[in-house]
Amino acid sequence: MPKAIKLFVKYVEAVNYRIGRIAMYGIFVMAGILLWSSISKTFFLPSLWTLEMAQFAMVAYYILGGPYSIQLNANVRMDLLYANWSPKKKACFDSVTVLLLLFYLGVMLYGAIDSTAYAFQYGERNPTAWRPVLWPIKTLMCLGFLLMLLQSLAELCKDIAKIRGEEI
């Protein structure tokens, strides 16, 4: 494989590894928010922001952890046939499915960018009592889709190298 592709894979995986390791602590942020929600509803006045903030924390956790999950091969797959295949056959199958994933992520990123631009332009807010602005979480979603798209592209490069009998 060309050196540029090897560097691309190396840097994409390094960035997604670091972001994924940080993002996995988002579950504790969400748990803390939900704990505060329970405490405030029991002993104090209920907080308006806790449910939506927990949802935003979960979105950040899920979206930013996705590329890390792909990198570790921790994604769900049907192992009934796949587990018995040779590494080269797995790479062939994975390269086809990654192409479908790239198309899907491209469509998602396109929609997310459009939605984020709308949120910035019109100051979009959630229609609830708290009414938080939506551009921060939508921007985070765009970043997550972009990182997942780059990680999927890196996986495609690794699969092609494996088909050619090389390792990245």
Q: What are the tens digits of pLDDT across the range 125-136?
A: 999 889 999 999
How confident is the prediction for the chain on average, in pLDDT? Answer: 94
The answer as to whether 136 is a domain residue is yes
Judged against a pLDDT cut of 90, whether residue 105 lies above it is answered with yes
Dist. CA 71–CA 78, nearest whole Å: 18
Dist. CA 113–CA 138, nearest whole Å: 8
Provide the pLDDT for residue 1: 83
Dist. CA 29–CA 13, nearest whole Å: 25
- The one-letter code for the residue type at 154 is A
Provide the pLDDT for residue 78: 73
In this prediction the pTM is 0.90
Our count of domains for the chain comes to 1
**What confidence tier does 104 reach under pLDDT thresholds 50, 70, 90?**
very high
Average pLDDT of span 100-112: 97
Provide the pLDDT for residue 77: 73
Range(s) of the domain holding residue 123: 3-163
β-pair partners for 125? 133
Tell which residue, 30, 74, 63, 72, has the closest CA to residue 144: 63
Provide the pLDDT for residue 83: 83
Kindly report which listed range (53-67, 77-91, 143-157) carries the lowest average pLDDT score: 77-91
The answer as to whether 168 is a domain residue is no
**What confidence tier does 30 reach under pLDDT thresholds 50, 70, 90?**
very high
Judged against a pLDDT cut of 80, whether residue 75 lies above it is answered with no
The answer as to whether 142 is a domain residue is yes
pLDDT digits (tens, 9 = 90+) for 143-162: 999 999 999 999 999 999 99
The answer as to whether 61 is a domain residue is yes
Dist. CA 73–CA 130, nearest whole Å: 39
Judged against a pLDDT cut of 90, whether residue 66 lies above it is answered with yes
Dihedral of the alpha carbons of 116, 118, 119, 123, in degrees to the nearest 10: 160
